[in-house]
A and B are shown apart, each in its own frame.
Chain A
């Protein structure tokens, strides 16, 4: 569990990334997991828990040498990810926010929200060695 404040979650992220390095994942995929996890944590803290320090973010990581699965849950009321505007739409291109989910989808093998929208599962399968 991590508190809902800026910068929280870096320790757990560091552990995940170090484990990926030990298993010799390629740098591109380590970068992708790092970015997706960072975006999901910020979303949980900022949007899910609205920076309410009374609320926690729950993180569960499961790893094998070939797969990493990270569940990040906030204590907020959830949202509908399908209603988030497409940030690549020219109409939204210059909005200062709203890109986290697109980045998560592109860098991970799979992302899935629960029905309520307050828990996201990020999954990345290891790429073949270069």
Chain B
């Protein structure tokens, strides 16, 4: 498995569980790198079941949302499934305000999310 600077990637069965190494996802350069690593999972490693866990993430800017949207498109283009979980309330509010809680399948915790694949 390729080394990732911004992500921690693990397999649970046939689901790829991704956690973020950064607590605050706001720096544009880091977000570019994070986006590339996420896209690599789909485009190079052909992973079709992705669970993004936001445990430990306490800040997320709209630039990061953009990367998630692009990731979602790539996953769908690959006939895959993307879910998100463990999003703290303030960050969930960001998804709700931008109506992205309707685009993404967001679960409370990892167990619920894994069971839903």
Contact between A88 and B61 (Cβ–Cβ < 8 Å)? Answer: no
A99 and B90 in contact (CB under 8 A), knowing A6-B28, A88-B99, A93-B100?
no
B side interface size, CB within 8 A: 23
Chain B 41-61 interface 0/1 with A at a Cβ cutoff of 8 Å (1 = within): 000000000000000000101
Contact between B59 and A94 (Cβ–Cβ < 8 Å)? Answer: no
* Interface presence of B116 (CB below 8 A): no
Majority secondary structure of chain A interface residues (helix, strand, loop or mixed): helix
Band of interface residues on A: 20 to 34
Tell me how many residue pairs across A and B have CB atoms closer than 8 Å.
Answer: 57
Segment touching A, from B5-13, B15-23, B65-73, B79-87: B65-73
User: Pick the contact of A88 from B29, B59, B72, B98 — CB < 8 Å?
Assistant: B98
Segment touching B, from A34-42, A74-82, A111-119: A34-42
A99 and B103 in contact (CB under 8 A), knowing A6-B27, A6-B29?
no
Contact between B59 and A35 (Cβ–Cβ < 8 Å)? Answer: yes
* Interface presence of B63 (CB below 8 A): yes
Docked complex: B92-106 residues within 8 A CB-CB of A = 94, 97-100, 102-103
A100 and B90 in contact (CB under 8 A), knowing A88-B98, A93-B99?
no
Binding site for B on A (CB under 8 A): 6-7, 10, 27-28, 31-32, 34-35, 38-39, 42, 46, 87-88, 93-97, 99-100, 102-103, 106
Binding site for A on B (CB under 8 A): 26-29, 59, 61-63, 65-67, 69-70, 72-73, 90, 94, 97-100, 102-103
